[in-house]
Amino acid sequence: MLSLAQQVGQFTNFNLRTEKHGPDNVPGADLKVTTTLSNDVLAEFHPTLKSMLFRKPNPGEEDLVDKAGEAGETRLRFGSNINAIRWVHQIVGAGFTVHYGTGKSDIELTDTTIDGFVIEPMDGGSVVVSFRVKCNPDEKQVGKLSTLMGGEIEFSLVPPEDGPIQ
């Protein structure tokens, strides 16, 4: 299951809304996060997704990393014919932490739903992964998150121990 620790990404959107929890109104929010990762993360979505999107470089395509023998499947199998893939996948009950300040001020969001995955393969062995974090932040967290929106953040995503993947 997808797990990211101390990852840097762009906090691209913050949508605040009201949710009904029984008779009570509670703040709900959607956070949109985009990050660039190694194509090895594709195994977390499906075991054959990496080999479907990437191939080993052909002779004459190698760069210095390829020639050193450290690279595997780093070239786009279909070139620029595939722009991005929407992946229908949910992680329910995940923990999402925005690392803020010295660590004492981290924004810890619990029992979140991570969904809306968009995977964009990049030549060279990277993928840009975008996703939505559905959460219920408190007033203090809303204030901190609103100041971070549009900038670069460091975050961690921790899946639930026994939670379902849908």
3-state secondary structure the chain: CCCEEEEEEEEEEEEEEEEEECCEEEEEEEEEEEEEEEHHHHHHCCCCHHHHHEECCCCCCCCHHHHCCCCCCCEECCHHHCCCEEECCCEEEEEEEEECCCCCCCEEEEEEEEEEEEEEEECCCEEEEEEEEEECCCHHHHHHHHHHCCCEEEEEEECCCCCCEC
Half-sphere exposure at residue 145, Cβ-oriented, CA atoms within 13 angstroms: 29
Q: What is the mean pLDDT of residues 64-82?
A: 73
pLDDT tens track for 140-158 = 999 999 999 999 999 999 9
- The pLDDT score that the predictor gives to residue 162 is 64
**What pTM was estimated for this model as a whole?**
0.87
Residue 126 has pLDDT above 70, yes or no: yes
Mean pLDDT for all residues in the chain: 89
Q: What is the mean pLDDT of residues 88-92?
A: 94
How far is it, in rounded angstroms, from Cα 100 to Cα 108? Answer: 10
Q: Which conformational region is residue 107 in: left (phi greater than 0), alpha (psi within -120 to 50 degrees), or beta? A: beta
Residue 69 has pLDDT above 90, yes or no: no
Percent of the chain residues past pLDDT 70, beyond the cut: 90
